[in-house]
C-alpha cells in the first residue's frame, strides 16, 4: 500500500472511530439525561404527594377561603411554583383555592383553561394522580394533578406546579456532568489524533526507507514485507532497460538518471496505486501486479512495452527512444517466496536479452526441469559459502609451478557443488553476477597471497554482458596492482555471438594488463578465426585431445596447435595430464605448460601455500 492509500485509510479509520466514539457519548449522555430527569421527576412527585397530604388538611379545614389560600401560600417554595385547587362545575373547570401570591392569585370560581387537555382527560378517566413534565411551559416544569374523590367521583383536583427552577437546579448539575464528559471526550479525541499522527509518522518513516531516492519507486527492501500468502492472483514481472550502459556512456549518467525516471513515469501510467513498482537493481525493475487476471496482466505488460517503445525520452540535448526486456511469472504464489518467483522471471529476462532484447518471455513451470536444488545454490552464494580450489600449472621448461587455475566450489549442508552442477542454471539469473564478484575477490585474494598467475574461466558470452564487464572493471580498480597476475579464460562451449563487441571488451581488459586465455581449444565451438579477435596470451588445449596424446593423431593436432599458438605469440597449456608418459610426450611436442592430476589435483589455498610456497613452487 502506498503512502497516499495509507493516509486515506488512516483518515477514514480515524473518522469512523471518532464518529463511533461521539455517537456512543451522545447516546450515553442522552440515556443518562433521560434517566436523570426521570429520577428527579420521581423525587419531585414524591415531594408533591407529601404536599397533597398537607393541602388536603388545609382545604378540609373549617377556615375561610381567604385563610385557606394564605395557608396554601405557605407551601409555595422555590421548587413549588403554584398550588391551587380546581373544581369541575357544569363541565367547566374553575379555581376554588389558590395558594399563589396575591398578584397572581386567581379569583374564586375563575375559569381555568388546562393547557394539556389530554392530561386532564387522563385524570378524569383514571381518577388517579397524573403528572406531566413540560420544559416549554412558562416557568413550569412539572404539573401534578391529584383528584379528590367523593362517592367515586372527582370532586376537586389539587394542582401542584413544580417550577422550572427546580428543574434547572438539577439541569445545572447535569451540565456539570456533561462538561466533564466533554472534557474527557476532548482528551480521548486528542489522544486518538496524537496516536494517529505518530502512527502516520512511523509509517511514513518506514515507508520512506522502502523508497528509491532517484526514481521514487520502491527499493528491493520492500520485497521482504510482501508475504507469499498474499501473492494469490498476483503477477510478477522483471524489466531491464536495453543497452542502458551505452546510454550512460554516450550521454552521461545524468541522462541515465532521466531515462530511469521517465521509464518509471511511463510504467506508472499503466499500473494502479496498489501495484508495486520496485527498482530491483541499477536499471532493473520488478513489477508486482496485484489481483489481476493473467490474460489482462500480459496485455497490461504488452501495453507498457509498447508505451516505452513509442515514448521518446527527453534527456536534455535530444530525445531518445529506449526499449526494455522482461520476464514474467504468472503464478508467483506457487514459488517458495516472492524472491524465488522473481528469480524465475529473471531467467526469462535473461533469455529475452539473449534472444535480441526488446521483448518479454513468460515463465512456464513445465520447462523448469532442474536436476538439483537451485535454491540451495542461490542461498549458498547469498551467504558467501563459496570457495576456490587452485590447480597448479607446470612450466615445462623451468619445471616449476608458475601458474594456477582457480576452480569454484559451493558448499551447502555438507555438500560441495562443482560449477558444472549449477553454472548453467545460475548464469540466467542475477545471482550469477554476485557469484562472479565473489569469485573474483577470492581469486585476487589468492593472487595477493601467492603473487603468481591465476586463471579463472568465464563464458564467452559473459564478455558481452555489460554488467559482467562492470564487475571486472570494478575489481580492476580495486586490485589494480596485481592485475598482471590475472588470466581470464574464455570457455568455448558455445558459439560466440557479437565477436566484434567481445574483441573490444578484451582489448580494454588487456590494456589493464589482464591476460586472456582460450579454454578447451580444439573442440566444440572452437573457431580458428577467434584467434584474430581474442588475441589470446594462452591457448589451453582441450582435454579430449590431450587424453589421447599417446595416439599419433592427437600428437599431430597438439603439434599443430603449438605451432599455431607460436604464430599468434600465445603459450600453450595441456590439461588433463594424468601420467608421466603423457607429460614426456607433451614435453617433446613443446607444449609450454602442463596441468592435470599428474602434477596436482585442485587444492585449497592453505594447502597450496603449504606445499608450493615452502618448496619454491617447483614440481
Partner 1 sequence: MRVLRYLLILIIATIIYAGDVNKIKAEIIENISMLYIKKHPIYIFIKSNYFNKTKKYLQKNYYFYIVNNCNKADICFVDSYPKNIKGKIIFLTSYLSYLKNKNAAGAFFWQKGRPTIIFNKQFIINHHIKIPKEYEDFVE
Residue number, 188 or 199, with CB nearest to partner 1: 188
Pick the closer one to partner 1 by CB: 83 or 549. 83
CB atoms within 10 A of CB 619: 18
If the CB atoms of residues 175 and 336 are measured against partner 1, the closer one turns out to be: 175
Q: What's the closest the beta carbon of residue 343 comes to partner 1, in angstroms?
A: 54
Q: Taking the CA atoms of 429, 434, 437 and 438 in sequence, report the sign of the dihedral they define.
A: negative
Please, how many CA atoms are within 13 Å of residue 160, restricted to the half-sphere of its CB? 27
Among 14, 36, 170, 181, binds partner 1 (CB under 8 A): 181
Among 136, 150, 310, 580, indicate the residue that binds partner 1 (CB under 8 A): 136
Contact between 37 and partner 1 by CB under 8 A: the answer reads: no
Cβ atoms 39, 71 nearer than 8 A: no
Residue 182: CB minimum distance to partner 1, A: 5
Q: Which is nearer to partner 1, 183 or 194 (CB)?
A: 183
C-alpha to C-alpha distance for 114 and 145, rounded to whole angstroms: 11
Among residue numbers 44 through 83, which ones bind partner 1 (CB under 8 A)? 81-82
Which of 9, 66, 139, 497 touches partner 1 (CB under 8 A)?
A: 139
Candidates 22-30, 245-253, 414-422, 506-514; binding stretch for partner 1 (CB under 8 A): 22-30
Stretch of residues binding partner 1 (CB under 8 A), selected from 60-68, 177-185, 217-225, 491-499: 177-185
Count the Cβ atoms, other than its own, within 10 Å of residue 142.
26
Closer to partner 1 by Cβ: residue 113 or 205: 113
Angle at 268 between CA 262 and CA 274, to 5 degrees: 150
Q: Which of 53, 113, 227, 528 binds partner 1 (CB under 8 A)?
A: 113
Start-to-end C-alpha separation, the chain: 65
The 10 Å CB-count burial string (b at 16+, else e) for 499-531 is beebbebbeebeeeebbbbbbbbbeeebeeebb
Q: Which three cell numbers stand for residue 548?
A: 589421447
Instruction: Work out whether 436 is an interface residue with partner 1 (CB under 8 A).
Output: no
DSSP-assigned beta bridge partners for residue 163 = 140
Decide: 120 and 143 in contact? Cβ < 8 Å.
no
User: Where does this chain touch partner 1 (CB under 8 A) — which range of 102-110, 262-270, 468-476, 590-598?
Assistant: 102-110
Q: Is 243 in the site for partner 1 (CB under 8 A)?
A: no
Burial of 532 (0-12, 13-18, 19+ CB in 10 A): exposed
Residue 8 or 30: the one with the smaller Cβ distance to partner 1 is 30
Among 106, 301, 339, 502, the residue binding partner 1 under the rule CB under 8 A is: 106
User: By CB under 8 A, which span of 181-189, 225-233, 250-258, 486-494 interacts with partner 1?
Assistant: 181-189
Q: Which residues contact 606 (CB under 8 A, 6 or more apart)?
A: none
> Which CB, 175 or 556, lies closer to partner 1?
175
Q: Beta partners for 517?
A: 489, 538
Q: Which is nearer to partner 1, 22 or 296 (CB)?
A: 22
Residue 102 binds partner 1 (CB under 8 A) = no
Q: In this chain, which stretch among 18-26, 239-247, 308-316, 557-565 interacts with partner 1, using CB under 8 A? A: 18-26
Report the C-alpha gap between 39 and 51 in whole angstroms: 19
CA dihedral sign, ordered 84, 87, 92, 95: negative
Residue 128, sorted as left (phi over 0), alpha (psi -120 to 50) or beta, turns out to be beta
Binding partner 1 (rule: CB under 8 A), the pick from 11, 20, 46, 182 is: 182
Binding site for partner 1 (CB under 8 A): 22-23, 25-26, 29, 81-82, 84, 92, 100, 104, 106-107, 110-115, 136-140, 161, 175, 178, 181-182, 185
Amino acid at each position: 500500500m502506498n503512502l497516499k492509500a495509507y493516509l486515506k485509510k488512516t483518515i477514514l479509520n480515524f473518522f469512523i472511530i471518532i464518529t463511533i466514539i461521539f455517537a456512543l457519548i451522545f447516546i450515553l449522555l442522552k440515556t443518562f439525561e433521560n434517566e436523570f430527569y426521570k429520577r428527579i421527576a420521581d423525587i419531585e412527585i414524591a415531594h408533591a404527594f407529601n404536599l397533597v397530604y398537607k393541602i388536603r388538611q388545609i382545604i378540609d379545614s373549617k377556615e375561610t377561603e381567604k385563610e385557606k389560600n394564605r395557608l396554601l401560600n405557605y407551601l409555595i417554595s422555590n421548587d413549588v411554583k403554584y398550588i391551587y385547587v380546581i373544581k369541575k362545575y357544569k363541565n367547566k373547570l374553575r379555581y376554588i383555592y389558590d395558594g399563589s401570591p396575591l398578584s397572581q392569585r386567581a379569583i374564586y370560581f375563575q375559569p381555568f383553561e388546562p393547557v394539556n387537555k389530554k392530561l386532564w382527560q387522563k385524570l378524569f378517566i383514571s381518577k388517579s394522580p397524573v403528572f406531566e413534565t413540560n420544559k416549554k411551559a412558562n416557568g413550569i416544569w412539572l404539573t401534578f394533578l391529584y383528584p379528590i374523590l367523593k362517592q367515586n367521583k372527582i370532586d376537586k383536583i389539587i394542582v401542584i406546579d413544580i417550577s422550572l427552577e427546580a428543574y434547572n437546579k438539577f439541569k445545572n448539575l447535569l451540565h456539570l456532568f456533561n462538561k466533564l464528559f466533554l472534557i474527557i471526550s476532548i482528551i480521548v479525541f486528542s489522544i486518538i489524533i496524537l496516536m494517529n499522527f505518530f502512527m502516520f509518522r512511523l509509517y511514513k518513516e518506514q515507508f520512506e526507507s522502502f523508497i528509491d531516492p532517484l526514481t521514487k519507486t520502491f527499493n528491493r527492501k520492500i520485497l521482504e514485507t510482501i508475504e507469499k500468502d498474499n501473492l494469490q492472483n498476483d503477477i510478477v514481472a522483471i524489466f531491464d532497460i536495453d543497452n542502458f550502459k551505452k546510454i550512460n556512456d554516450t550521454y552521461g549518467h545524468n541522462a541515465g538518471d532521466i531515462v530511469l525516471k521517465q521509464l518509471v513515469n511511463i510504467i506508472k501510467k499503466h499500473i494502479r496505486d496498489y501495484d508495486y513498482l520496485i527498482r530491483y537493481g541499477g536499471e532493473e525493475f520488478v513489477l508486482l501486479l496485484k489481483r489481476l487476471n493473467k490474460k489482462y496482466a500480459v496485455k497490461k505488460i504488452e501495453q507498457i512495452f509498447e508505451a516505452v517503445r513509442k515514448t521518446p525520452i527527453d534527456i536534455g540535448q535530444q530525445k531518445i527512444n529506449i526499449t526494455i526486456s522482461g520476464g514474467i511469472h504468472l503464478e508467483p504464489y506457487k514459488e517458495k517466496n516472492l524472491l524465488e518467483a522473481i528469480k524465475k522471471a529473471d531467467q526469462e529476462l535473461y533469455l529475452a536479452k539473449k534472444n535480441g532484447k526488446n521483448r518479454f518471455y513468460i515463465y512456464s513451470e513445465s520447462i523448469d526441469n532442474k536436476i538439483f536444488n537451485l535454491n540451495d545454490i542461490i542461498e549458498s552464494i547469498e551467504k558467501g559459502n563459496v570457495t576456490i580450489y587452485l590447480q597448479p600449472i607446470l612450466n615445462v621448461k623451468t619445471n616449476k609451478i608458475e601458474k594456477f587455475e582457480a576452480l569454484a566450489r559451493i558448499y551447502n549442508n555438507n555438500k560441495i557443488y562443482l560449477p558444472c552442477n549449477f553454472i548453467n542454471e545460475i548464469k540466467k539469473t542475477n545471482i550469477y553476477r554476485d557469484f562472479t564478484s565473489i569469485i573474483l575477490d577470492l581469486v585476487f585474494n589468492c593472487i595477493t597471497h601467492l603473487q603468481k598467475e591465476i586463471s579463472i574461466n568465464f563464458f564467452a558470452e559473459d564478455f558481452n554482458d555489460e554488467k559482467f564487464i562492470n564487475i571486472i572493471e570494478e575489481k580492476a580498480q580495486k586490485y589494480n596492482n596485481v592485475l598482471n597476475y590475472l588470466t581470464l579464460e574464455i570457455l568455448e562451449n558455445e558459439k560466440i555471438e557479437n565477436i566484434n563487441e567481445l574483441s573490444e571488451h578484451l582489448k580494454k581488459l588487456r590494456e589493464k594488463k589482464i591476460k586472456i586465455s582460450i579454454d578447451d581449444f580444439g573442440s566444440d565451438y572452437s573457431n580458428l578465426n577467434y584467434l584474430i579477435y581474442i588475441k589470446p596470451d594462452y591457448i589451453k588445449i582441450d582435454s579430449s585431445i590431450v587424453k589421447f596424446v599417446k595416439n599419433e593423431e592427437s600428437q599431430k593436432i597438439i603439434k599443430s596447435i603449438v605451432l599455431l599458438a607460436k604464430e599468434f605469440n600465445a603459450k600453450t597449456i595441456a590439461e588433463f595430464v594424468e601420467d608421466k608418459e603423457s607429460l614426456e610426450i607433451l614435453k617433446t611436442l613443446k607444449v609450454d605448460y602442463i596441468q592435470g592430476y599428474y602434477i596436482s589435483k585442485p587444492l585449497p589455498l592453505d594447502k597450496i601455500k603449504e606445499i608450493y610456497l615452502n618448496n619454491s613452487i617447483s614440481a
